[in-house]
Structure 1
Amino acid sequence: MSGTAVAEVLAELAGLEDPKARAVNERHGDDHGVNLGKLRAVAKRLKTQQDLARELWATGDSAARLVALLICRPKAFDRAELDTMLREARTPKVHDWLVNYVVKKSPHAEDLRVTWTADSDPVVASAGWALTTERVAKDPQGLDLDALLDVIEAQMKDAPDRLQWAMNHCLAQIGISHADYRPRALAIGERLEVLKDYPTPPNCTSPYAPTWITEMVHRQEAG
């Protein structure tokens, strides 16, 4: 893919820059000002282009990296590439899209889950916990849920924000998906009180694990 194509995409994204969108994004730790609907439209027009995706990622520009994650072929990245990309993804939206849109679809997801969860970098570890939460919900066979709850109980209260959020999601998912472990998950959430006072908009479920678990189980039973 020619450098011109990369320059054209960057120019188009620069033209979509919106100061209001940037202000909202920056409040969430992101450093771009492109409306995500418009960004997705750019990616939809480009379709799948793995070489262009790699070049856009290499620019380091967050909006370009988000486009890259939408037009790449997730299974085309090797394990080392994904590990490097995750460590380079320092803004929340790039990090989240990389994990959810690419790594989860990769044959290397389980290997990376184990490696990242044990990483000393809390942002990297949060990606490992996100992958663990996915397994808790969809493929729990082989996971030691008691051991996961042990780690959450011991470490979540004092974990940095991104890691704490990811561990809390895993705690809630264990309680939601596994009735046998629900009492312990609820008890851990109640004792640690992580995110208990998190401001939650009307009609949204609180991220406080006991409330989250109770609400989702109620919905499952009602449905």
Structure 2
Amino acid sequence: MDIETVMQELEALGKERSKKMYISNGAHEPLFGVATGAMKPIAKKIKINQDLADKLYTTGNYDAMYFAGIIADPKAMTEADYERWIDGAYFYMLSDYVVAVTLSESDIAQDVADKWIASGDELKMSAGWSCYCWLLGNRKDKEFSESKISNMLDMVKNSIHDSPERTKSAMNNFVYTVAISYLPQHEKAVEVSKEIGIVEVKRDNKKSSFLNAYESIQKEMDRGKLGFKRKYVRC
């Protein structure tokens, strides 16, 4: 299937309601407003196609960029490819749910995510922290350095309230994910969640959202989710 055909199929699946919702979250034209579940039949036909994924991503069309993440080959992508993708990710639904997700299935995930976390750039930092959330929620605990995750928890504790808005959200999610999905640092993550307390995330033209990692952790523990790992990261 070529790029023109995919774009036509995506356009046919677009819904005004989805389009408005994506725009309210930060997407901008061009976009069709395709529900992610509606993309599955096209993805089944294409399976994995990195060349096509790259072409779709460079269109700047939100739906095409999202779909690119579904058919990408994470292990075939180089660090330069990921840098190109994160540079094109203009809002958090791309940085955290397309680029970070794709990166989390590669062998260079931690190295690239570490650089992004240290970058000082809001969406790169957000993608870096989010990538660790996807990794910790999917890979075996032994694949991570316990001291490194512990240091990252300290970093969140010391800087979350002064971090850029989207980064705050991803950092908060990191604490929650460590507590639930990475058992070696469960207790420390719970302590850190108590110490950071409620995190306010300001949003353009919307009310602030208030995040409480401690409460979210308790809810998941009550549901017996401690130690939860996802089978797959990508849909």
TM-score range for the pair, normalised by the shorter chain length: 0.7 to 0.9
More strand by share: 2
Q: Which runs of 5+ in 1 are unaligned?
A: 197-205
In the TM superposition, what are the counterparts of 1:44-83 in structure 2 within 5 Å?
44-83=44-83
- Contact 1:186/1:209 (CA < 8 Å) preserved in 2? yes
Q: Give the deviation of 1:91 after TM superposition.
A: 3.0
Task: State the percentage of identical aligned residues.
Answer: 25
Letter of the aligned partner of 2:125 in structure 1?
A: A
Q: Secondary structure at the match of 1:156?
A: helix
Letter of the aligned partner of 1:151 in structure 2?
A: M
- The corresponding residue for 1:160 is 164
Count of residue correspondences: 208
- Contact 2:190/2:214 (CA < 8 Å) preserved in 1? no
Residue 28 in structure 1 maps to residue 34 in structure 2: no
In the TM superposition, what are the counterparts of 1:1-223 in structure 2 within 5 Å?
5-31=2-28, 32=31, 33-95=33-95, 96-100=97-101, 102-134=102-134, 136=136, 138=141, 139-176=143-180, 177=183, 178-182=185-189, 184-190=191-197, 193-195=198-200, 207-220=211-224
Distance 2:54 2:8 in 1: 17
- Contact 1:129/1:167 (CA < 8 Å) preserved in 2? yes
Q: Give the deviation of 1:45 after TM superposition.
A: 2.1
Q: Give the deviation of 1:207 after TM superposition.
A: 4.5
More helix by share: 1
Q: Which has the larger radius of gyration?
A: 1
Letter of the aligned partner of 2:57 in structure 1?
A: W
Distance 2:122 2:174 in 1: 15
- Contact 1:195/1:208 (CA < 8 Å) preserved in 2? no
Q: Give the deviation of 1:115 after TM superposition.
A: 0.6
- Contact 2:104/2:131 (CA < 8 Å) preserved in 1? yes
- Contact 2:132/2:174 (CA < 8 Å) preserved in 1? yes
